[in-house]
């Protein structure tokens, strides 16, 4: 009887010793940092920015941050404010604690510094002729339509590039459109105002007024109620409601009073 018990104890000891060799040793001298203490760019960007702006600042649904022209357009204060407070009228939310987000001021600073270090081209200065990020000029939508026809339509006539779609335009602000026109989207093959459209057509880079007019034209195509009126209806929502099968079945049911009278 004692032999089987001894064998079982020996086997248990062997198993325990094997586990001890594979499990990492506990180290109480290296505690896991609290989220607010993380100020390294990689984890901060990966957890808060990469889903929209791409894993390396490119090929995401939002603006590509890995774009030297974009980095030239934005100063540190503007980038900091956009991350901390968000950008009204766009899908960019606020990440700073002061605006209801989760990031501290040092963490926002770390994101700005990391973007500059990795994606801003060192030793370059902002071109003198590049349009400004903001403007006080008044846009001329008619002239913007002419510019679109000569410099944009050749690329934006396909189904996958319909920037004139009112539904798309409802998702982007005038400011976002302006930045896209100036900085471009190199990751998607979209040139900026200094390297692509206008330069080929008219022999000069786009001016501040040109960009303003294009934004005015695109803004004029927005719909106050994206997705309506519904296709094949005469009066939009009202007709769509009347064609709703659920409402049709409901209206066909007798009321309580009519059932009682019967």
Q: What are the tens digits of pLDDT across the range 20-77?
A: 455 566 666 677 778 888 999 999 999 999 999 999 999 998 889 998 888 888 899 9
- Give CA torsion, residues 241, 243, 249, 255, to 10 deg: 50
Residue 146, pLDDT above cutoff 50 = yes
173-186 pLDDT, tens digit each: 898 899 888 888 88
Residue 105, pLDDT above cutoff 90 = yes
161-172 pLDDT, tens digit each: 688 888 888 888
For the chain, domain boundaries: 38-119, 141-220
Residue 245, pLDDT above cutoff 70 = no
Cβ neighbours around 78 below 10 Å, total: 13
The answer to whether domain 38-119 and domain 141-220 are alike in fold is yes
* pLDDT computed for residue 25 by the predictor: 62
Topology (CATH level 3) of domain 38-119: Cytochrome Bc1 Complex; Chain D, domain 2 (1.10.760)
Cβ neighbours around 210 below 10 Å, total: 22
User: What pTM, to 2 d.p., does this model score?
Assistant: 0.67
Give me the mean pLDDT over the 233-249 stretch: 46
For domain 141-220, say whether CATH 1.10.760 is its number. yes
d(CA 153, CA 148): 6
């Amino acid at each position: 009887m004692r032999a089987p018990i001894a064998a079982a104890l020996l086997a248990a000891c062997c198993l325990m010793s094997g586990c001890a060799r594979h499990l990492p040793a506990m180290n109480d001298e290296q505690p896991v940092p609290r989220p607010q203490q993380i100020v390294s760019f990689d984890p901060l960007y990966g957890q808060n920015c990469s889903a929209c702006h791409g894993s390396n600042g490119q090929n995401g649904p939002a603006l590509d941050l890995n774009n030297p022209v974009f980095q030239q357009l934005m100063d540190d204060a503007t980038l900091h404010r956009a991350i901390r407070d968000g950008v009204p009228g766009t899908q960019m939310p606020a990440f700073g604690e002061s605006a209801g987000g989760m990031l501290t001021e040092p963490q926002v600073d770390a994101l700005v510094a990391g973007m500059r270090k990795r994606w801003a081209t060192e030793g370059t200065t902002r071109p003198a002729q590049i349009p400004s990020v903001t403007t006080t000029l008044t846009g001329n939508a008619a002239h913007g339509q002419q510019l679109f026809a000569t410099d944009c339509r050749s690329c934006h006539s396909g189904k996958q590039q319909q920037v004139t779609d009112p539904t798309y335009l409802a998702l982007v602000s005038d400011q976002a459109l302006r930045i896209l026109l100036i900085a471009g989207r190199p990751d998607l093959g979209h040139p900026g105002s200094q390297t692509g459209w206008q330069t080929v057509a008219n022999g000069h880079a786009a001016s501040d007024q040109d960009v303003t007019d294009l934004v005015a034209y695109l803004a004029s195509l927005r719909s106050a109620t994206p997705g309506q009126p519904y296709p094949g209806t005469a009066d939009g929502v009202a007709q769509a409601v009347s064609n709703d099968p659920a409402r049709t079945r409901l209206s066909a049911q007798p009321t309580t009073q009519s059932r009682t009278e019967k």
